[in-house]
């Protein structure tokens, strides 16, 4: 049976994009995206919870995010969920993040304080994100799980 790993989020950036470059010169960006859930509790009082998401963008998409995105900017993100594992001080560490395949800038203009409404969509061509993420030298570490280790 086929499986699906797809994440779609619309939220606001919790900070400016953080960009770094791999040894191979590939741009890697990290976005912190906040999504909000609102509801009314049993006593009729409104409540709200904010969920924070770590989003990773690669290549030209990362550079465009650095140029046009900033704290508070609304954004649409589509991608896949990925969990990475590494060791720090002998202890295993994990992080779960969204590897973006599509980022659409929502709301006001491309520069801080711009008032012209703008929606801009950037989608990497031909699986560039998947190819970059699969590269052991340029991308994040990936799992090499043996077939019998999968719990299904």
Domain topology for 7-149: OB fold (Dihydrolipoamide Acetyltransferase, E2P) (2.40.50)
Q: How far is CA 49 from CA 18, 33, 34, 37, 39, in A?
A: 25, 14, 10, 5, 9
Structural domain boundaries in the chain: 7-149
pLDDT tens for each residue of 69-117? 999 999 999 999 999 999 999 999 999 999 999 999 998 654 554 433 3
pLDDT at residue 1 in the model: 87
> Which of 18, 27, 115 is CA-nearest to residue 70?
18
> Which of 133, 73, 67 is CA-nearest to residue 101?
133
Model pTM?
Answer: 0.69
Contact of 19 with 27, CB cutoff 8 Å: yes
């Amino acid at each position: 049976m086929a499986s699906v790993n797809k994440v779609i989020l619309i939220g606001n950036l919790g900070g400016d994009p953080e960009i770094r470059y791999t040894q191979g010169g590939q741009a890697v960006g990290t976005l912190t995206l906040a999504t909000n859930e609102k509801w009314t509790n049993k006593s009729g009082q409104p409540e709200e919870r904010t969920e924070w998401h770590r989003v990773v963008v690669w290549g030209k998409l990362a550079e465009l995010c650095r140029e046009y995105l900033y704290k508070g900017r609304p954004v649409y993100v589509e991608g896949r969920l990925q969990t990475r594992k590494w060791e720090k001080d002998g202890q295993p560490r994990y992080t779960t993040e969204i590897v973006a395949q599509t980022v659409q800038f929502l709301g006001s203009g491309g520069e801080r304080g711009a008032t012209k409404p703008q929606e801009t969509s950037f989608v990497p061509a031909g699986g560039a994100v998947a190819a970059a993420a699969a590269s052991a030298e340029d991308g994040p570490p990936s799992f090499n799980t043996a077939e019998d280790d999968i719990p299904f």
